Amino acid sequence: AQTVTQSQPEMSVQEAETVTLSCTYDTSENNYYLFWYKQPPSRQMILVIRQEAYKQQNATENRFSVNFQKAAKSFSLKISDSQLGDTAMYFCAFMNWDGGATNKLIFGTGTLLAVQP
Amino acid sequence: NAGVTQTPKFQVLKTGQSMTLQCAQDMNHNSMYWYRQDPGMGLRLIYYSASEGTTDKGEVPNGYNVSRLNKREFSLRLESAAPSQTSVYFCASSGAFKQRDTWGEKLFFGSGTQLSVL
């Protein structure tokens, strides 16, 4: 069974600085996706960034980028130029891709990020 | 607006009462899911439905039942609520989407239901 581990329950960063959130996962599969979701106090689940396992290039979305190390099964999220609006719970998630319809998303336990003014 | 709609947003039950959480999506997705979110435990999959007419257990199915009424709707039922079922519940559906030059799967979430069982 796949598992996702986020070892940092809480983190804090000063506004405009850079922070990295860690995530490791365990799987025997070769085809899969990895995601970072953001959950602000509104409770809404917002997709931040996704990475296909077959791609060596790290995904980037504006101020958000990942460091994907497939052999180490590591998938960290870097937030550059942190903004107050980045304050939220961040979840790392794994989805096995078998081309079918049973693509369950498995979540880590989350990291609560506080951006300080 | 297209998306996943779940109702109610808040609910308080007494131990032993029953209720059904409703979920509907208008994106023509085959797959739908129910998750629960508890502090320190992330989101855990309760049940999922890969297609209309099929349902499967997830990580924490005990105490719940589901119905995939049609392609749009996927309901979650608590037959006899227990305090351990106090949680935030999310419905989701998944479908293919294109980002730049690649296709992949993406989950779309409802806004959640805060359920308290006293």
Is the minimum CB–CB distance between A109 and chain B shorter than 8 Å?
yes
Q: Which of A43, A50, A109 sits opposite B88 (nearest CB)?
A: A43
Residue B51: its pLDDT value, please? 87
CA distance B118 to chain A (A): 22
Residue A100: its pLDDT value, please? 55
CB count within 10 Å of CB A28 equals 7
Which tens digit of pLDDT belongs to each residue from A24-50? 999 988 888 899 999 999 899 999 999
CB-CB neighbors (< 8 A) of A106 in chain B: 45
Size of interface A-B (CB pairs under 8 A): 61
Query: Nearest Cα to A67, choosing from A80, A51, A82?
Result: A51
CA distance B41 to chain A (A): 5
Which tens digit of pLDDT belongs to each residue from B2-42? 699 999 999 999 999 999 999 999 999 888 999 999 988 88
Which tens digit of pLDDT belongs to each residue from A44-68? 999 999 998 888 899 999 999 999 9
Which tens digit of pLDDT belongs to each residue from B95-110? 766 655 556 667 889 9
Share of chain A above pLDDT 90, in %: 72
Burial (0-12, 13-18, 19+ Cβ within 10 Å), B100: exposed
Q: B43, B47, B54, B90: which to substitute to probe chain A, counting the most A Cβ within 10 Å? A: B43
Strands A10-14, A111-116: pairing kind = parallel
Residue B100: its pLDDT value, please? 59
Q: Which of B42, B104, B111 sits opposite A44 (nearest CB)?
A: B111
Across chain B, what does the average pLDDT equal?
90
Query: What whole-number distance in Å separates Cα of residue A79 and Cα of residue A17?
Result: 8
Intra-chain end-to-end CA distance of chain B, in Å: 35
Which tens digit of pLDDT belongs to each residue from A5-30? 999 999 999 999 999 999 999 998 88
CB-CB neighbors (< 8 A) of B94 in chain A: 103, 105
What amino acid is encoded at A75 in this protein?
F
Count CA atoms within 13 Å of residue B59 on its CB side. Answer: 16
Which tens digit of pLDDT belongs to each residue from B68-78? 989 999 999 99
Residue B30: its pLDDT value, please? 87
Residue B73: its pLDDT value, please? 96
Please, which residues have CB within 8 angstroms of residue B47's CB and are 6 or more apart in sequence?
B33, B34, B55, B56, B57, B58, B61, B64, B66, B76
Burial (0-12, 13-18, 19+ Cβ within 10 Å), B112: buried
